[in-house]
Amino acid sequence: MRDGRKKISRLNLLENGYQVALDMGAHDIVILMLGSTVSGSSTGTHNYPPPTRSIELNEEYDENWTIWLELITHGHTFGNPYNFCTRVDDSTLTSFTITTADTCFWEFLASIATHAEAGAFILLPKSNWDLRLCIPMQPVFGQQPENIHVIWGFALFPKASGNYVQKSMEACSGAQVITEILGHLNYHSTVDDTTTIPRHMPRMSSLLLVRSVADRPEVIPPKTSHLALVGQFVEIPWYSCVDMSYGIRTAQIATSQLTGIPLLDDKHGHTGSTTRSTLRMLFWR
């Protein structure tokens, strides 16, 4: 602590399996990203469901969470990570990707999605899992062959039993997930050359959980020096964390306040951004 302000004096790092101590200079700054929506995630295959794990194990917290958990031992100005990382019953989603070379199946999806060529959504409101499909602009990847199409989606209630597959989505292989989707789409043809990969994500919607004002720390925590916090779990008044640009905005504020470089004006303004983000959130939920 210097001049009544807390400052990080040393970083203990793990580099190539070895512990390394890095002493901070008088003019060095530290920018930390807090929280992670993908920690504890597990991936299945087309034939097997994602492996189940005990979410209480310490190794389920990635570096973004462990750093935050360490920070709060040094004061109350660093927020409350426990509000976001421990409520897995409220934050769990199961996502999936569908990779297909079946032209008929792809054309069918495009026919029921509005503006599929520019990216579209398909909602399955009668699904017990509450399934959502995202039809992104193709190609998704730079080296993606022209005959291959990639679809992404997720379920809001993966613990529920399926309508066509009588088990929870968490316990389903990729093949069973696509079977459930085809049932809701009323698509009875055989889908060939298609692989579905499920992914269990216990903290995927953790940033949307109900919280108190003090649960998210400020970008520049009070009574600290040469330290900034960034990411979607950091507080910016009047902005919605649903928008991916939120994390970028925290980084802009951090670098501006730590270096003295003026922050560029937000041409769109926070009001429009927040409105769009809120509508998007309501649409998905």
Mean local confidence (pLDDT), 30-56? 88
* pLDDT at 57 > cutoff 50: no
Mean pLDDT of the chain: 87
Task: Tell me what pLDDT residue 212 has.
Answer: 94
Mean pLDDT confidence for 205-212: 93
* Domain at 90-201, CATH class: alpha beta
Q: Dump pLDDT digits (tens) for 86-102.
A: 999 899 999 999 999 99
- For residue 103, which amino acid is it? T
pLDDT, average across residues 72-87:
93
Mean pLDDT for the stretch of residues 230-254: 90
Angle at which helices 103-112 and 174-185 cross, to 10° = 50
Same fold, 10-41+59-86+207-284 and 90-201: no
The pLDDT score that the predictor gives to residue 284 is 47
Asked if the model's pLDDT at residue 264 lies above 70, the reply is: yes
Q: What whole-number distance in Å separates Cα of residue 151 and Cα of residue 93?
A: 17
Radius of gyration in angstroms for the set of CA atoms belonging to the chain, rounded to a whole number: 22
pLDDT of residue 241: 85
What pLDDT, on a 0 to 100 scale, did the predictor assign at position 242?
79
User: If you count them, how many residues does the chain have?
Assistant: 285
Determine which of 71-75, 97-101, 113-117, 174-178 has the lowest per-residue pLDDT on average: 113-117
Buried b / exposed e over 201-221, threshold 16 CB at 10 Å, is bbbbbbbbeebeeebbbbbbb
In sequence order, the 6+-apart residues with CB closer than 8 A to the CB of 268 are: none
pLDDT tops 60 at residue 145: yes
By the 10 Å C-beta count (0-12 exposed, 13-18 middle, 19+ buried), 52 is classed as exposed
pLDDT digits (tens, 9 = 90+) for 167-204: 999 999 999 999 999 999 999 999 999 999 999 999 99
pLDDT at residue 104 in the model: 95
Pairing of strands 10-15, 18-23: antiparallel
- State which amino acid sits at residue 56: E
Q: Once rounded to an integer, what is the mean pLDDT over residues 212-222?
A: 95
User: How would residue 285 be classed by pLDDT, with cut points 50, 70 and 90?
Assistant: very low
CA distance 141 to 82: 36
Residue 32 near residue 227 (C-beta atoms within 8 A): yes
Higher pLDDT, 180 or 112: 180
More confident residue, 175 or 268: 175
CATH of domain 10-41+59-86+207-284: 3.50.50.60
**What are 153-170's pLDDT values in tens digits?**
999 999 999 999 999 999
Task: Give the amino acid at 142.
Answer: G
pLDDT of residue 278: 47
- pLDDT at residue 282 in the model: 45
Please name the residues in contact with 148: beta carbons below 8 A apart, sequence gap of 6 or more: 99, 100, 101, 139
140: its two tokens: 């998704």
The pLDDT confidence band at residue 13, using thresholds 50, 70 and 90, is confident
Strands 30-33 and 227-230, sheet pairing:
parallel
pLDDT band at 263 (very low <50, low <70, confident <90, very high): confident
Query: Domain spans of the chain?
Result: 10-41+59-86+207-284, 90-201
Retrieve residue 71's tokens: 């920070």
Question: Residue 133 burial by CB count (10 A; 0-12/13-18/19+): exposed, middle or buried?
Answer: buried
Contact (Cβ atoms closer than 8 angstroms) between residue 55 and residue 40: yes
Which pair of tokens denotes residue 53? 């794990």
- Residues 281, 272: Cα–Cα separation, whole Å: 14
